[in-house]
Structure 1
């Protein structure tokens, strides 16, 4: 039942009771007691009605002093409410302490885990990734990437970079692997029949160009007459294959000499500032030109097509890759709890800083919302929130006045 109705009913009962007792015989003790109780209850109910009404408006619309207290003190009430919220109810210290006890990272990770387990969510994530990658403007991104790579190369310390790369290559034996690759390719080439004929023809032509006189010339001509192109090619082919086999052996002294010479040449190249500068400019110019832009664009398109194809395949499988990536991240965090703790601290610090920077907005928001309300709206809102409880003051005042009135009548008797 509406408390305003109950309060009005209590006041009406007191008024009706008082009027009725006026017409009853006054020689009865009970009539005297009831009249005193109803009279005091009527006075108490009216007094409390006046007090409650004076909080919100002028009783009977009359500008009686010290009435309509809420509207007269609106600014003080608003400021007090804002101050209470900012400094007591929602002060920064209490909010920060509460945030620090929440374990935000664990809460967020737990909610993400619940979402990732749903197939619909995973496929939605993949769909968002597909749309984002499809809409990625490569024609705008490529020039930025191109200029970034070019600037990086021009500012790069080639000497340190080349020394580092070469040292790593040598430590991992890439110089020997490169030499072995070249020797194997040379062995394959030298073993071909057409290589034998080519070597024989070259040797025959060069021998015929030689002019040797005397007895040595006679012996040389006899040797040329005895050897044909095929025989010369076979001899050279055998020599070449034998030399390559020897160089492929790790214990071969000539192999060690060649590798040592390669390393010396490489380090000399790394110390040649002029040559490195020309190399750096050559690389930068190649990347900066139209050909470099076209190459980067084609590579980026190829990468995008590859990623999209993989994402589409994963979307058809229900986003398993998304779950796999998330599971991998969780496993790594479980293996390194100190990293999870660091992330927890970072997230908490970020939220705390966010609260500190925006705490004033709480009071500002309350003030703006209250200022948007006119007097009638504000009074109606307060009556809806606290008016129901205040109406019980009227009821209690009437009942208490009735009881006090009976007691005073007894004392009077």
Structure 2
């Protein structure tokens, strides 16, 4: 049972009791208790009816009474403006919203949302549903064109010498030059140990022995064969092979003079000004040629066409798995990096503050627009729904307080006024 029904029933009971008091007063004239009951019910009825009229006048015209009634429909624009002002300037003003935002950690909310298994499932489902549409709507020709321009521009902007010197400096500082040199030597030794290499050396020596026009290296090799008293080509090959392997094994020693020589040359390279490097112009020329001649369009478009022509569903599944793995990898990195989280939190709050300051007026406009669309009856229902119970209890209290006041007045008139107040007045 709502408060309005209770208030109506209370007023009905008071009215009935007032009629009963009239009957009792008629049949029991002069009875003090009856007179007191009549006075109490009379005052209770007056208080209840007065408050019923006052509360009803807020929403409509009670009994058709036109003066200063139906206050909400009559002053609806002013009331709507007051509600908007209260919400816009007091309840949800800019500063109060900023304080609430300031106590909110958006990054924590985002992490909690994305870590939810349902959210991850929705993200995966969205990727599976939308990737074909996204790919179909992409203009790969335009994308490849932008990529081609970007790569060519970046190649031209690369400071080749500076990058090379930085690489050499890092190799020297980390002592990677010896490691790299030793690795090359080991690979050469491994290649020399192959049978086909020996056969090629043997064949070359045979051609060399029969030739007349020999290079300096060839003359050294013939001289080495003569000094070792090589009897035949096979012995010469074995001797030459052994000397080469022995020399390479010695180079593997970190203390070998070759390592020192390489370090000195690289150190001199790092310390030289860029313009003093002899092959600076050749490197720059090679870089410009590469930037002009590189053909990314053809290769990239061929890859796109091959991918688009592929109908294997496993390929798309693998692509989505790869995208999800990349997202997961970056997500784990983000969760473990407090610095990035703090940076993002600051940026989100700054953007939120700017949005609040710029668009705060929307709150008031929304409230005013919604309330303005209400009819008079709907606006009455809206107000009564929010404060109707309190209004009806005012009616109930009117009857109760009226009855109490009636009782006090009756007791005053019968026990104080006639016995004390009247003689005092007459004595003046």
TM-score by length of 2: 0.70
Q: Is the 8 A contact 1:43 1:401 kept in 2?
A: yes
1:201 is the counterpart of 2:206: yes
Report the aligned-residue RMSD: 4.5
Secondary structure at 1:207 match in 2: coil
1:284 is the counterpart of 2:282: no
Q: Which shows bigger deviation, 399-408 or 176-185?
A: 176-185
Q: Distance in 2 between matches of 1:89 and 1:392?
A: 26
Structure 1 segment 252-267 matched on structure 2, within 5 A: 252-254=256-258, 256-257=260-261, 260=264
In the TM superposition, what whole-angstrom CA distance separates every residue of 1:261-311 from its partner, at most 9, and x where no partner exists? 577679789674533333223333454443442587599999xx8995497
In the TM superposition, what whole-angstrom CA distance separates every residue of 1:241-270 from its partner, at most 9, and x where no partner exists? 444444444434356446655776797896
Deviation at 1:386, TM superposition (A): 1.6
Q: Is the 8 A contact 1:18 1:39 kept in 2?
A: yes
Deviation at 1:312, TM superposition (A): 5.2
Give the aligned partner of residue 49 of structure 1.
52
Which of 73, 82, 90 aligns to 1:71? It is 73
Deviation at 1:203, TM superposition (A): 1.9
Give the aligned partner of residue 404 of structure 1.
405
Which of 154, 160, 166 aligns to 2:162? It is 160
Deviation at 1:232, TM superposition (A): 5.1
Deviation at 1:38, TM superposition (A): 3.2
Structure 1 segment 119-134 matched on structure 2, within 5 A: 125-128=123-126
Deviation at 1:377, TM superposition (A): 0.8
Q: Distance in 1 between matches of 2:296 and 2:341?
A: 46
Change in 2 beyond 3 A, CA 1:228/1:196: same
TM-score by length of 1: 0.72
Give the aligned partner of residue 255 of structure 2.
251
Q: Distance in 1 between matches of 2:365 and 2:109?
A: 30
Q: Distance in 2 between matches of 1:308 and 1:260?
A: 54
Deviation at 1:400, TM superposition (A): 2.5
Give the aligned partner of residue 33 of structure 1.
36
Give the aligned partner of residue 215 of structure 1.
none
Q: Distance in 1 between matches of 2:151 and 2:390?
A: 72
In the TM superposition, what whole-angstrom CA distance separates every residue of 1:105-146 from its partner, at most 9, and x where no partner exists? 556556666x3xx5x665555555566667663873555444
Change in 2 beyond 3 A, CA 1:233/1:410: closer
Q: Which shows bigger deviation, 288-297 or 164-173?
A: 288-297
Change in 2 beyond 3 A, CA 1:369/1:392: same
Change in 2 beyond 3 A, CA 1:190/1:206: farther
Q: Distance in 1 between matches of 2:345 and 2:266?
A: 53
Q: Distance in 2 between matches of 1:102 and 1:290?
A: 48
Change in 2 beyond 3 A, CA 1:374/1:164: same
Give unpaired runs (5+ residues) of structure 2. 216-222, 415-428
In the TM superposition, what whole-angstrom CA distance separates every residue of 1:75-109 from its partner, at most 9, and x where no partner exists? 22222222222332223333333443455555655
